[in-house]
Amino acid sequence: MLTPPSFEEIVFLHPAIRDEFDYDQSQRPYWRSSDIYAFGVMLIEVAFWKTIDQVLSISEEGNWRRLLKNENLASEHRFAYVKSLMGEDYTKIVQDCLTVQPSVDQGNDRLLLGMFLTISKHLSKMSEALQS
């Protein structure tokens, strides 16, 4: 008997594949765009200095699946708040991650990897600027 996925197994998945997630994790599709989306979720956690369930005010005891389905992490309101906390450059990176288009195309995977490297370099430059 398969157990239902937990909040932690679902929240970091790209919204386009959340609906396709079934109880059999071996059947879950792997998309590099989902990794980039998950990175954006982690950047939201860093910006708010809270876990994503706290950011979204979702408890595992409640109906988190319904709440998560209706929640849009890539909302303009959330980006404005991230910008007020972390600045425009950081917000642009979060926005790029959370609005990445889902794809299983091999050619697009190379583009996504390039996007991830660009994001990493930009974060590194931001870190260097803060240290000087």
pLDDT digits (tens, 9 = 90+) for 68-79: 777 788 889 999
Domain membership flag for residue 16: yes
Specify the pLDDT at position 6: 73
Domain extent, residue 18, equals 7-131
Domain membership flag for residue 56: yes
Q: Tell me the pLDDT tens digit for each residue of 115-127.
A: 777 777 877 877 7
Query: What is the Cα–Cα distance from 18 to 4, expressed in whole angstroms?
Result: 13
Specify the pLDDT at position 1: 52
Query: What is the Cα–Cα distance from 57 to 20, expressed in whole angstroms?
Result: 24
Number of separate domains in the chain: 1
Domain membership flag for residue 1: no
Measured from the Cβ of residue 49, the count of other Cβ atoms closer than 10 Å reads 9
Burial of 122 per CB tally in 10 Å (0-12, 13-18, 19+): middle
Specify the pLDDT at position 43: 92
